């Protein structure tokens, strides 16, 4: 972990081009011997360039030659040094993913997808948690000299000038504020939340609450924006009392869902509720039960993201499935594309309504 604000957890170490010493014992004498790429090449009977291509996956190498190089690496205990290579190439083969809640499995699946692609291309992925003093963790990211950064949360705390500074420092950015200077990737919640509100209306629900977690005024809060649009479209009740806004510091945890649902129950009556994510939905389900209501007989509950716990709840949670690993993979490809040719792009991934046991007919429709 770095200095309290930007906490880095290396997910995987990868090999690179430069050389590193290894321990060699002769009798009672222990000394350091530098194993070089040229020695690996000589041992395998190939060129040093072929050794580099095998290590970095930068060019096709026949299975036979690849096997010979890998066996030579093992025999000689060759361990490339990323630091030395960084000095020579002015690249670190190091990228980061910025999240705001390390306890949410949603981010774990995204990071896993990102790491799969990163590993293939010889990159290391670090997890950076946006919390505390944004100036400090911004400085820490700059000091890490990463090649790329995927901002996986809308609550990252960076200003437009800070993002511009990251970009000017040579860091490839995914999910910056300006799509002309950074690639953009997100889930397309609009269509699926529209489908969700229609589904609930068809089940007789008119008073559908929304637990925001984030500020409803945040320009990147697509889920809230889609909810408002769908409620207007299908003529269900757009009552401000049904919308529970997030409060600073804008958490979307199970506890924040619990608190938001208690506020909703104290404020007005709803027969269904949509939460900004699954963790908030879990908290809402606890608050509903504590108030003496049944799920879904009295109140239906819908989450977002479809983290792996969703189907383990009782009843299993109806939710909007987002392809999280795919997002991580695509984000890493976007970083690689920017590093190669400077091109940025914009991708919205499809989501899907998954109907489970937490939703049912409205009491008045039965």
pLDDT score of 133: 62
Is 55 among the domain residues? yes
Is 209 among the domain residues? yes
Same domain, 230 and 357: yes
- List, for residues 269-322, the tens digit of each pLDDT value: 999 999 999 999 999 999 999 999 999 999 999 999 999 999 999 999 999 999
Range with the lowest mean pLDDT among 84-98, 134-148, 226-240, 283-297?
A: 84-98
Same domain, 70 and 192: no
Please give the tally of structural domains in the chain: 2
Same domain, 47 and 195: no
Q: What CATH number has the domain bearing residue 70?
A: 1.10.260.40
Is 294 among the domain residues? yes
The 3-class SS string of the chain reads CCCCCEEEEECCCCCCCCCEEEEEEECCEEEEEEECHHHHHHHHCCCHHHHHHHHHCCCCCCHHHHHHHHHHHHHHCCCCCHHHHHHHHCCCCEEEEEECCCCCHHHHHHHHHHHHHHHHCCCEEEEEEECCCHHHHHHHHHHHCCCEEEECCCCCCCCHHHHHHHHHCCCEEECCCCCCCCEEEEEEHHHHHHHHHHHHHHCCCCCEEEECCCCCCCCCCHHHHHHHHHHHHHCCCCCHHHEECCCCCCCCCHHHHHHHHHHHHHHCCCCEEEECCHHHHHHHHHHHHHCCCCCCCCCEEEEEECCCCHHHCCCCCEEEECCHHHHHHHHHHHHHHHHHHCCCCEEEEECEEECCCCCCCCHHHC
> Which residue(s) pair with 96 in the sheet?
126, 149
Give the pair of three-digit tokens for residue 191.
């269509």
Same domain, 218 and 359: yes
Is 68 among the domain residues? yes
Asked whether the predicted pLDDT for residue 343 surpasses 90, the reply is no
Same domain, 359 and 234: yes
CB 123 within 8 A of CB 94: yes
Is 170 among the domain residues? no
Give the pair of three-digit tokens for residue 311.
């189907």
From 54, 79, 104, the end of a domain falls on: 79
The pLDDT-based confidence of 189 (bands split at 50, 70, 90) is very high
Q: What CATH number has the domain bearing residue 293?
A: 3.40.50.2300
From 62, 79, 96, the end of a domain falls on: 79
Same domain, 317 and 192: yes
Higher per-residue pLDDT: 344 or 22: 344
Angle subtended at Cα 124 by Cα 122 and Cα 130, rounded to the nearest 5 degrees: 150
Is 69 among the domain residues? yes
From 79, 109, 127, the end of a domain falls on: 79
- List, for residues 204-216, the tens digit of each pLDDT value: 999 999 999 989 9
Same domain, 192 and 46: no
Give the pair of three-digit tokens for residue 287.
């608050």
Percent of the chain clearing pLDDT 70 (strictly above): 85
Is 3 among the domain residues? no
Same domain, 69 and 203: no
Asked whether the predicted pLDDT for residue 190 surpasses 80, the reply is yes
Give residue 242's domain range: 188-323+352-365
* pTM to 2 decimal places: 0.76
CB 163 within 8 A of CB 177: yes
Range with the lowest mean pLDDT among 21-25, 94-98, 319-323?
A: 21-25
Average pLDDT over residues 126-144: 76
Is 101 among the domain residues? no
């Amino acid at each position: 972990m770095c200095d309290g604000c930007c906490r880095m957890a290396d997910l995987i170490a990868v090999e690179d081009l430069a050389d590193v010493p290894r321990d060699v014992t002769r009798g009672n004498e222990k000394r350091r011997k530098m194993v070089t790429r040229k020695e690996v090449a000589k041992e395998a009977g190939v060129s040093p360039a072929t050794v580099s291509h095998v290590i970095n996956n930068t060019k096709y190498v026949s299975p036979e030659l690849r096997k010979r190089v890998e066996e030579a690496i093992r025999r000689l205990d060759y361990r490339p040094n990323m630091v030395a290579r960084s000095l020579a190439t002015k690249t670190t083969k190091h990228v980061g993913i910025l999240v705001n809640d390390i306890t949410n499995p949603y981010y774990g699946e995204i990071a896993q997808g990102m790491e799969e692609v990163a590993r293939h291309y010889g990159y290391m992925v670090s997890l950076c948690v946006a919390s505390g003093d944004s100036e400090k963790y911004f400085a820490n990211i700059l000091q890490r000299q990463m090649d790329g950064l995927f901002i996986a949360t809308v609550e990252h705390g960076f200003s437009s000038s800070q993002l511009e500074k990251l970009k000017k420092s040579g860091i490839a950015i995914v999910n910056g504020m300006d799509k002309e200077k950074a690639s953009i990737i997100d889930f397309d919640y609009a269509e699926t939340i529209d489908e969700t509100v229609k589904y609930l209306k068809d089940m007789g629900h008119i008073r559908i609450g929304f637990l925001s977690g984030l500020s409803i005024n945040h320009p990147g809060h697509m889920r809230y924006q889609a909810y408002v649009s769908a409620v207007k479209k299908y003529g269900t009740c757009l009552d401000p009392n049904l919308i529970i806004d997030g409060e600073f510091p804008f958490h979307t945890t199970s506890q924040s869902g619990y608190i938001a649902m208690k506020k909703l129950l104290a404020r007005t009556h709803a027969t269904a509720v949509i939460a900004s994510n699954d963790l908030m939905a879990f908290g809402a389900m606890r608050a509903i039960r504590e108030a003496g209501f049944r799920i879904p007989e009295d109140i239906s509950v819908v989450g977002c993201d479809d983290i792996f716990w969703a189907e383990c709840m009782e009843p299993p949670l109806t939710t909007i499935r987002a392809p999280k690993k795919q997002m991580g993979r695509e984000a890493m490809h976007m970083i690689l594309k920017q590093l190669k040719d400077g091109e940025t792009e914009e991708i919205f991934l499809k989501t899907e309504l998954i109907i489970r046991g937490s939703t049912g007919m409205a009491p008045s429709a039965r």
